[in-house]
Amino acid sequence: MVFPMQYILRSQQWQLLRQCLNVLLHGLKLPDTKARVGMSTEHLEQYLGYLNGLEEKVEIRVESSIANVMMKVTRETLRELTPAEFRAQTAHEFFEGQTLLAELEKLLEDRSVKAPDRF
């Protein structure tokens, strides 16, 4: 049996993810987000609403499927914006986005854990 992994995102991580998601949805307006990041625009908007409703200093748990989508959102935002545009649109430095992308890629290297045969 395989269980989905859950990851804990620190406040700084999900806040930058929120900014990247906002830019992707409202600034870049990429065609066919489902093909590019693995989630429809409608579902991305819902997730952005969830992130917008969080208190600033909380940590959140996300399953690997959401972490994978957020990794792609971050990658697309970094790909589409220059460092100056990234800073202006996210209020974060470009290297912070690159660091977040690397952290998400590392987290997702092992996406699932097998349950023991016996408990």
Query: Using 50, 70 and 90 to split pLDDT, how confident is the model at 56?
Result: confident
Higher pLDDT pick, 104 / 110: 104
Asked whether residue 20 is assigned to any structural domain, the reply reads yes
Higher pLDDT pick, 74 / 56: 74
Please tell me the number of Cα atoms within 13 Å of 85 on its side-chain side. Answer: 11
Q: Backbone phi, then psi, for 55, in 5-degree steps?
A: -70, 150
Range of the domain at 91: 2-114
For 58-81, how does the pLDDT look when each residue is reduced to its tens digit (9 = 90+)?
A: 999 888 889 999 999 999 999 999
Asked whether residue 119 is assigned to any structural domain, the reply reads no
Task: Give me the number of domains the chain comprises.
Answer: 1
The CA angle 18-89-78, to the nearest 5 degrees, is 75
pTM of the predicted model as reported, rounded to 2 decimal places: 0.85
pLDDT of residue 71: 95
Beta bridge partners of 6: 63
